[in-house]
Amino acid sequence: MGEEIGGLMFCSGSEEETLGLGRRLGAALTPGVVMLLSGELGAGKTAFARGIGCALGVARVRSPSFTLVNEYKCEKFTLFHADLYRLDDADGLGLDEYADDRSVLLVEWPERWQNPPSCDTIKISFEMTEGEPDKRLIRFSAKGKNASRILCSLKSALS
């Protein structure tokens, strides 16, 4: 699989910027990738996911807090969006079945998934900044050839 590649960091000053960053990543996505979104409540994970969905032609991405996994049929692949916030342990949920070469799996609160599959992965962490309620520090890292290529595409789009 290779080692983790990191180094991409973005500072968002608003929800609109976070949505825009999600759109840019969504435009670069190809199937076979798992995205792990970490951060506190209200840090921007779902706004970012809405931006990804927008880039893929999904009219409305909703937080799957109560349904656990939402499925969105996109033109080129299926986007699965999981939210593990309400779970103590997500290993019995069968999320690894969504991680295949025909879809993209986006997981909020991945800390609750003890044994994620060892596939192409993009980790995205959202940090709120003290004293600046709208500002977010968003860090990216990638593991695997496809995930690294997607992150390189995002980096180019931000340049």
Note the pLDDT of residue 1: 42
Residue 52's SS3 state is helix
Please give the C-alpha separations between residue 83 and each of 9, 11, 14, 66, 95, in angstroms, as whole numbers. Answer: 23, 24, 22, 8, 11
Q: Where does the pLDDT of residue 2 fall: very low under 50, low under 70, confident under 90, or very high at 90 and above?
A: very low
Q: Where does the pLDDT of residue 104 fall: very low under 50, low under 70, confident under 90, or very high at 90 and above?
A: very high
Number of Cβ within a 10 Å radius of residue 152: 14
Ramachandran region of residue 101, left (φ > 0), alpha (ψ -120 to 50) or beta?
alpha
Note the pLDDT of residue 99: 83
Entry pTM? 0.88
Per-residue pLDDT at 49 exceeds 60: yes
Number of residues assigned to the chain: 159
Give the lowest-confidence range in 28-32, 78-82, 128-132.
128-132
Note the pLDDT of residue 69: 85
Note the pLDDT of residue 90: 63
